[in-house]
Chain A
């Protein structure tokens, strides 16, 4: 079956703009998590959604938000972009809350200029 897909794969934005990234989990998976990866900070957890509800949130400012739809697809939004938001944003899905394997997508590379 198809893996986790993320769109767009690459994005260039200007400081102050906002951006929306999309993630389609593996069919049947109900949990979606988002991570940010930068050279300096490595992989950091942003938030996790299950059944359209946010279940966990990492230590990121309120400019970072997300949501999950009834079909388990998820979006994350970053408002008022800063140069430091340039990163690879990774989405991961798993069957449910008590499953140990997370399946990652290829990521969206966001560049803020």
Chain B
């Protein structure tokens, strides 16, 4: 399986943008980039996913490098409720419901 590399932890001030990086240098053309997050004492929660183009939804934006070897999850205005572990995951395209392979993720702390 293609691997992802994320920083262990990051810190942000409340109401400021947060850029969470993910490196995936061995990504294949058929891999989607997914982001999930896990808030304290909860199960993981889907955030966003993309293939080649940048993606936006109500929770976040996903910026994908032109060579697809890296991506960045952008939280436009961090709130205290965004404090969580963020996981960047690669999933094969159209391969059925392949299991999610979680790495260690990035623990985001938000300071009031």
Contacts and interface: CB of A to CB of B under 8 A. Distances in A.
Interface string A34-62: 01000000111100101000011010000
Interface stretch (A12-20, A67-75, A76-84, A97-105): A97-105
Q: How large is the interface on A (under 10, 10 to 19, 20 to 34, 35 or more residues)?
A: 20 to 34
Contact of B46 (A50, A96, A102): A102
Given A42-B102, A42-B103, A98 B97 contact: yes
Contacts of A24: none
Chain B interface extent, by class: 20 to 34
Q: Is the interface of B mostly helix, strand, loop or mixed?
A: loop
Nearest to B46: A101
A90 interface: yes
A56 B98 CA distance: 8
A97 B96 CA distance: 5
Interface in B86-112: 87, 91, 94, 96-105
A31 B105 CA distance: 25
Given A90-B44, A105-B43, A106-B43, A98 B96 contact: yes
A100 B104 CA distance: 21
B45 interface: yes
Query: Is chain A's binding surface mostly helix, strand, loop or mixed?
Result: strand
B99 A99 contact: no
B34 A104 contact: no
A96 to B, nearest CB: 7
B43 A33 contact: no
Interface string B33-48: 0100000011111100
Contacts of B43: 4, 90, 92, 104-107
15 contacts: A33-B97, A42-B102, A44-B102, A56-B98, A58-B99, A90-B44, A92-B44, A96-B97, A97-B96, A98-B97, A100-B49, A101-B49, A102-B44, A104-B44, A107-B43
Interface of B: 32, 34, 41-46, 49, 87, 91, 94, 96-105
